[in-house]
Amino acid sequence: MSTTRQPKERKIPISFSELEATPVLLANVMFVQRFGEEYVVAIGQIAPPILVGTPAEQKHRVDTLGELSVRPVARVSLTRARLEEFIKVLQDGLNLPDAMHG
């Protein structure tokens, strides 16, 4: 009878390389789509239209606006487990004390 040796579990530290060089982008539009077992999180940026002129001209501009475009910032596909982990990371970040925001 042979026995199979299970390798020991070892945690390996990770670090983000060049994180400081990665641009920080404004994101103000988000939605999630589900495709089978995957969740696709889309994150984007929308800017309001610039309105100039008299109040009547501004109102006319708003009334005749078509669709506003969202500029995609990121689109990420996650399993349910990773989506739950992502939600926890966001919740933990939201719960950080204000003193840590320097």
**pTM, rounded to two decimals:** 0.70
What is the secondary structure of 38-72 as a DSSP string?
A: EEEEEEEE--PPP--S-HHHHHHHHHT--PPPPEE
Q: Which portions of the chain are predicted below pLDDT 50? A: none
Name, in order, each residue with C-beta under 8 angstroms of 24's C-beta and a sequence gap of 6 or more. Answer: none
Which pLDDT score is estimated for 7?
A: 78
Which pLDDT score is estimated for 26?
A: 94
Which pLDDT score is estimated for 89?
A: 95
Alpha carbon separation from 35 to 31, 41, 68, 84 (Å, rounded): 13, 11, 26, 16
**Hey, what amino acid is at 40?**
V
